[in-house]
Amino acid sequence: MKLKRRQFLFLSSLSTVGTGVLALTLAHQHGETNLVELATAATPAKKDLLLRFVSVADTGTGARGQYAVAKAMTLYHKRNPYDLVVLAGDNIYNNGEIEKVNAVFERPYQDLLKQGVKFQACLGNHDIRTENGDPQVKYPGFNMNGRRYYTFRRNSVQFFALDTNSNADWKNQIPWLERELSSSDAPWKVVFGHHPIYSSGVYGSNQAFIKTFTPLFKKYGVQLYINGHEHSYERTRTIDGTTYLICGAGAGNRPVGRSEWTGYSTSNLSFAAYEVYPDRIDVSAIGTNHRVFDRGIIKSSK
């Protein structure tokens, strides 16, 4: 059957549209969505959004990988504004030298810092190699205000930053954490530190941390623990009410496996983004290609 030119062009356009829809459908089925494509589409206003923030760790190299993740964080900020970054340790490689802070923090994130985005840091194992990390604790850009462990609140979310290093003040830190958790009336409680509790990466799960922290998290309704140290991304399924999320591929990466409690894991360079609502936290893992490669939902424990 011969087709007139107008009929042929019409059918060709339908085929092109169909291919695009199929591609987007397959991308959604695999949990991967292009942020630029989403930004060009009309989306409903998120009227009940309480807070948006991101997290990243093991960043402080000043090398190409860090800049690639920082660029992705900046693009995400343009499409989905946020003013808080949880910086989960190893902020300055290799030995925590504060004189490198311009090269490994201020320059890579200058676009975000100029727009008033606040980084809340904790100390990693590399950070304590120089003066036990004290210069970083006092550095204004990390917003630790001279404290190695501390808490702050944003809207309905209370954050608890920990020093998880082996030489931390464990005698006082654990009782402090329990006091702060028990007295908090925040609907959402987020704890972050550098070292993993559950992990399928190079270092694996920390049995001592599981014994120390998980009973507290369960007792006081901590819904999310964020960490680095493993240079990979891993989101667990909910374990006794808590989701454990590793976002340590902020500049470099290492292999990661899977465990029976793993929701998603990959070694892709990436950061994690969180949208907090009254009844849930939506988690998106975003790579340097600006694609969302994992989505998770953390439900309220109330």
Q: Are residues 104 and 170 in the same domain?
A: yes
Structurally, the chain folds into a number of domains equal to: 2
> At 22, phi and psi to the nearest 5?
-60, -40
Q: Are residues 74 and 32 in the same domain?
A: no
Q: Are residues 26 and 118 in the same domain?
A: no
Residue with tokens 């030995």: 95
Q: Are residues 112 and 260 in the same domain?
A: yes
Alpha carbons 108 and 116: distance in angstroms, whole number: 15
Tokens representing residue 55 in the block = 């997290």
Among 178, 148, 176, 152, smallest CA distance to 164 is for: 148
Q: Are residues 66 and 165 in the same domain?
A: yes
Intervals of the chain under pLDDT 70 = 1-45, 302
Number of H helices, E strands in the chain: 8, 14
Query: For residue 56, what are the β-bridge partners?
Result: 87
Burial class (CB in 10 A: 0-12, 13-18, 19+), 118: middle
Query: For residue 157, what are the β-bridge partners?
Result: 154, 188
Q: Is residue 57 part of a domain?
A: yes
Amino acid at 234: E
Q: Are residues 92 and 16 in the same domain?
A: no
Residue 45, pLDDT score: 57
Instruction: Give the domain range for residue 269.
Output: 44-299
Residue 44, pLDDT score: 58
Q: Are residues 24 and 157 in the same domain?
A: no
Q: Are residues 30 and 82 in the same domain?
A: no
Alpha carbons 231 and 59: distance in angstroms, whole number: 10
Report yes or no: 173 and 180 within 8 Å, Cβ to Cβ: no
Max CA pair span of the chain: 84
Alpha helices in 30-153 (DSSP H): 35-40, 64-79, 101, 110-114, 134-138
The three-state secondary structure class of 209 is helix
Q: Are residues 23 and 51 in the same domain?
A: no
Q: What CATH number does the domain containing 54 carry?
A: 3.60.21.10
Q: Is residue 1 part of a domain?
A: no
Residue 214, pLDDT score: 98
pTM of the model: 0.87
Q: Is residue 110 part of a domain?
A: yes
Among 286, 294, 244, smallest CA distance to 269 is for: 286
What is the dihedral angle through the alpha carbons of 51, 52, 56, 59, rounded to the nearest 10 degrees? -110
Q: Are residues 121 and 220 in the same domain?
A: yes
Q: Is residue 78 part of a domain?
A: yes
Q: Are residues 87 and 214 in the same domain?
A: yes
Q: Is residue 265 part of a domain?
A: yes
Q: Is residue 2 part of a domain?
A: no
Among 270, 246, 234, 251, smallest CA distance to 94 is for: 251
Q: Are residues 31 and 83 in the same domain?
A: no
Residue 112, pLDDT score: 98
Among 152, 165, 231, smallest CA distance to 194 is for: 165
